[in-house]
Amino acid sequence: MKKIFSIAVLFLLFTLGAHQANAQMCDSTAKLSAKYVVPPFVSDGQTYRALILSNQNAEFQATFFAGTTYRISAATGLTEGNLIFSVYSYDPNSGQRELIFSNSQHNNAPYWDFKVNTTVEVVIEATLNPASGKDSGCAVLLIGFKQ
């Protein structure tokens, strides 16, 4: 019984430590991403993040308004280029998606700007760069708009 209790305490300590370590890892990645959302870009006020495995995508929906230039800054870990992000247009009427951009086709750029001529619903997908050799990572995306 004493042994089981000791193991449980060990797991609890390990869990708390891992929880803290992951929160810090996500925070460090957020700081890395934030360095590209600087004037003239203003943060949209949200932080999008996820712990993803190598076979998973994180995705979210957004509306990009005509006449605005947006910046997406994306990272995982503390090294740039390890996160692949793709932006698709999304038609809510038909559910159809069309690829607008993927940083995998642009040297895995850590940030990219989008000059929007027509208002469009978009879906942004983020996945780990297979070449990074990482099995998991904290993916962080930030969005800013140009003043």
Residues in region 4-63 near other proteins by CB under 8 A: 4, 7-8, 11, 14-15, 18-19, 22-23, 25-27, 30, 34, 38-40, 42-53, 55-63
d(CA 78, CA 138): 10
What is the residue whose two structure tokens read 């559910």? 95
CB-nearer residue toward other proteins: 132 or 136: 136
Residues in region 60-79 near other proteins by CB under 8 A: 60-69
92 forms part of the interface with other proteins (CB under 8 A): yes
> Which tokens is 97 given?
């998606």
Residue 83 contacts residue 75 (beta carbons within 8 Å): yes
Question: Least distance from C-beta 64 to other proteins, angstroms?
Answer: 7
Question: Least distance from C-beta 28 to other proteins, angstroms?
Answer: 12
Which whole-number Å values give the CA distances from 69 to 9, 37, 95, 120, 122, in the listed order?
Answer: 51, 12, 25, 13, 14
Question: Which residue, among 111, 110, 125, has the nearest Cα to 52 in the 3D structure?
Answer: 125
Question: Least distance from C-beta 41 to other proteins, angstroms?
Answer: 8
Residue 51 contacts residue 137 (beta carbons within 8 Å): yes
Can you tell me whether residue 92 is helix, strand or coil?
coil
Residues in region 109-138 near other proteins by CB under 8 A: 109, 111-121, 123, 126, 138
How many chain residues interact with other proteins (CB under 8 A)? 77
Question: Least distance from C-beta 27 to other proteins, angstroms?
Answer: 8
